[in-house]
Amino acid sequence: MIPLLFLASVLAGCGGGGSTSTGPVPAPTPPTPLMRGPWEIATVSTANPGYDTFIEVNLQSSGSAYSSYQLVEVLNKSASLGNPPIDSLLYSGTYYSLDDSCANSAGGSITGTVAGSSVTFTYKILQGVVFSGQGTYNGTLVQGTYQSQTTNSACVDSGTFTAYPVAQPSGTYTGKLTFSNGHADNVTMNLAGACNVSVTTGDMCPLTASGTISGSDAGTISLTGRTTGNFIELGGSGQTVLGAPVSYYCLQLSTASGKPIIMEDVWAGANYLAGVLTDQ
């Protein structure tokens, strides 16, 4: 993320007989990483094995302190556990749910500090549950451990985490979506956006989607929204199913073969995981 450029000062002195000696060179001090822009925090629970959570966040920083500007929590759960989460989608052997993992406590805030390679954070969920974490930054990502600071039995947890910056999705995505009314459509969607890490109002990472639909609801797509980490929200009147506007909650994944997007349609007030679009 940040070039490691160090300037070592050389202490020179003059001794007797005109000889020159060189003093010790100070050890370089690692730079403070800039934790800002879209990040994803992937947690792996050790207290509740198999339950893993993505925390999607847009961060702002000031000196050694950082905080969340926008935040969404998303749960994924291993398919091997059985009893998949309600409103979940099986993709590549894992159930993904676009609901959170802790007593329906979506949202919240993160604050933290960075000192050299040491990173700490406090994650407060809207209903008052607090998690703390500590990790080490290696120049690319932060790895460490977290633990809950609460006695709420629904949210007691601990484990490990990996945090890393993510790129806003862009380009062309295609796939088949099946809506909650049974309509099946082939979709081509073009995503474009740009993040402003200095924003003080509005969305840090606005996004637009355009494209075409063939099938039951043939037509065009023209939607606007935002990204928060790898979480995508799109809406507007630029796509309809049976005359009703469609909005989407989405999660972009990182896989060996690309960055597919899990699509959940919010149609006529009902949430339904409709399918997956793959990047082209």
The DSSP annotation for the chain comes to -----------EEE-GGG-EEE-PPPPPPPPPP---EEEEEEEEESSSTTEEEEEEEEEEEETTEEEEEEEEEEEEEEGGGSSPPTTEEEETTEEEESS-SSTT----EEEEEEETTEEEEEEE-TTS-EEEEEEEE-SS-EEEEEEE----TTT--EEEEEEEE-PPP-EEEEEEEE-TTS-EEEEEEEEEE---TT-SSS-SSEEEEEEEEEETT-EEEEEEEEEETTEEEEESSS-EETTEEEEEEEEE--BTTB--EEEEEEETTEEEEEEEEEE-
Q: What is the domain partition of the chain in residue ranges?
A: 37-165, 171-279
**Among 187, 236, 192, 195, residue whose Cα is nearest residue 216:** 187
**Among 118, 153, 150, 122, residue whose Cα is nearest residue 137:** 118
Contact predicate 53/75, CB 8 Å: yes
Contact predicate 231/141, CB 8 Å: no
Amino acid at 207: L
**What topology is assigned to 37-165 in CATH?**
Lipocalin (2.40.128)
Tokens of 44: 């792996």
pTM here is 0.81
For the purposes of burial, counting CB atoms within 10 Å of the CB of 202, is it exposed (0-12), middle (13-18) or buried (19 or more)?
A: exposed
Quote the CA–CA distance of 239 and 219 in Å, as a whole number. 8
**Among 56, 43, 52, 63, residue whose Cα is nearest residue 132:** 43
Contact predicate 216/198, CB 8 Å: no
Counting as low any pLDDT under 70, the low residues of the chain are 1-34, 75-90, 98-107, 126-127, 152-154, 241-242, 267-271
Quote the CA–CA distance of 276 and 266 in Å, as a whole number. 15
Provide the pLDDT for residue 91.
Answer: 74
Provide the pLDDT for residue 279.
Answer: 92
Provide the pLDDT for residue 48.
Answer: 79
Contact predicate 236/223, CB 8 Å: yes
Provide the pLDDT for residue 220.
Answer: 87
Provide the pLDDT for residue 102.
Answer: 62
Cα→Cα distances 41→21, 62, 146, 160, Å: 50, 20, 11, 10
Quote the CA–CA distance of 228 and 206 in Å, as a whole number. 9
